Amino acid sequence: MIDSTALARMLPAGAVHQGMVFKVQPLEGVSLEDIAEDPSGVIVLLDQLTDTQNVGAIFRSALAFGAKGIVVQDRHSPALAGALAKAAAGATERLPCARVTNLSRALEKLADLGWRAVGLDGSAELTLEQALDSRPTVLVMGSEGDGVRRLVAEHCDVMAKIPMPGGFESLNVSNAAAIALYEVARAQRSA
């Protein structure tokens, strides 16, 4: 047993701990090929998303809508621990995550394995509904500030937007991911 002061020193400031802490090993990632070997359903690829709350929420939505896994860049992405794991509410332990060096090369590999990449961009010509079909889909999400980077977008088969008739042109990336994952699941079910 340790006292509350010692416990507080072990955790980030403001951490909610209810008087307990567990020391665990970091989650082991999987390879891109492990996630993509059976081309069906959806994979989520995150292009430089660094906000732990958003990434955690995306894990949660991806698991809820049946994604096969999440692909992130080994740099420019947060560890699957702490605030991210809390926001994910257990999804990081159940949904495979592949860390890759280069997202453009990962999209090339996924294309070779039979996957079609659909990137989200608020200024795209097509709506998500128009862009989706029954094919295995890699849903590419960019950071809230910069969106999907140019080289990553060039490796997408199509860029699409979520129509927003309410006159507001921006959604939080985790909300956009949840909507897009629902649309992918719907498109694949109805085909």
Q: pLDDT, tens digit, for every residue of 81-121?
A: 777 777 778 777 788 999 999 999 999 999 999 999 999 99
Q: Is residue 4 part of a domain?
A: no
Is the pLDDT at 149 greater than 70? The verdict is yes
Average pLDDT, the chain: 88
Residue 11 has pLDDT above 80, yes or no: no
Q: How far apart are CA 78 and CA 114, in angstroms?
A: 28
> Measuring CA to CA, how many Å separate 94 from each of 62, 90, 103?
11, 7, 23
Q: What is the pLDDT of residues 38-52, one digit of tens each?
A: 899 999 999 999 888
Of 58-67, 71-80, 151-160, the one with minimum mean pLDDT is: 71-80
Is the residue at 23 inside a domain?
no
pLDDT at 17 over 80: no
Domain assignment of residue 11, yes or no? no
pTM: 0.87
Does any domain span residue 136?
yes
User: What does the pLDDT read at residue 44?
Assistant: 97
pLDDT at 185: 95
- For residue 119, the enclosing domain spans 28-190
CATH code of residue 168:
3.40.1280.10
C-alpha torsion angle, residues 28, 89, 142, 45 (rounded to 10): 40
Is 20 domain-assigned? no
Question: Would you state the pLDDT for residue 91?
Answer: 78
Whether residue 66 has pLDDT greater than 90: yes
DSSP 117-157: EEEE-TT-SEEHHHH--SS-EEEEEEBTTTBS-HHHHHTSS
Domain assignment present for residue 121? The answer is: yes
Domain count within the chain: 1
Mean pLDDT of 23-28: 62
Answer whether residue 122 is part of any domain: yes
* pLDDT in the model for residue 36: 95
Hey, what are 146's tokens?
Answer: 């910069």
Q: Does some domain include residue 155?
A: yes
Residue 169 has pLDDT above 90, yes or no: no
Across the range 7-35, mean pLDDT stands at 73
